[in-house]
Amino acid sequence: MSRIKRIEPENFDPELQEMMDVERRTPLEIGNVRYYAHRPELAKALLQFMGVLRAPGLLSARLIELVRLRVAFHNQCRSCMAIRYDMAVQDGVSEELVCQLERPQDAADLTAAERVALRYADLFATNHLAIDDALIQELREHFSEPEIVELGLNVSIFVGLGRFSAVCDMIEELPERFQQRDQPVVPWGPDAILVERLDRGAALA
């Protein structure tokens, strides 16, 4: 049972309903916006920001999805771990690839750029002060500074909103293994849920 009452889409602020296109979205696609709807102006501003951040940018949908799932594992955000965004799947994120996130530094199918981005995300989520000049220099070997900024903003959203989602404990709509609270869960598995990326952002971190 979620720890914060969810506002159902039919009770959203009318402009928020339009932004979310609630008539054709599944509950998981609407996701955490049902919490944010307690503060409609903040929800709308967040969706606008996420729409820009998740628009085709400098980084690939594949890289962003891999980083999102790795951060979700650290956060133990079950709703984040359970879903896959369709754009990322179209960009090559298979379940075989997601399984390699268990040990990304040893993963054969990850590029060198993806591995350093995942190491950056790992530290950002677990010990951000350990990110030093050497790691930033290593990022620079694969990414421009604008790309590093885009990566950092995405990871910031994944860490912050993912933790809020984990605290809210929205798990009852998820596959059974994600509803187990007595032990950590992992994003790799046979039961991921494919969802459509929202035009103006993503409901879930």
pLDDT at residue 196 in the model: 80
Low-confidence ranges of the chain (pLDDT < 50): 202-203
**Quick one: the chain helix, strand, coil %, rounded to 5?**
60, 5, 35
pLDDT at residue 205 in the model: 56
Domain span at 141:
58-195
pLDDT at residue 202 in the model: 47
Could you give the number of structural domains in the chain? 1
Positive or negative, the CA dihedral 42, 25, 70, 146 is: negative
- The C-alpha atoms of residue 32 and residue 203 are separated, in whole angstroms, by 6
| 71 in any annotated domain | yes
Distances (CA, A) of 157 to 49, 134, 172, 201: 11, 24, 23, 12
pLDDT at residue 198 in the model: 57
Radius of gyration of the chain (CA): 17
Q: For position 148, which CATH number holds?
A: 1.20.1290.10
Q: What is the pLDDT of residues 148-161, one digit of tens each?
A: 999 999 999 999 99
pLDDT at residue 187 in the model: 93
Dump strand ranges (E) for the chain: 83-85, 193-195
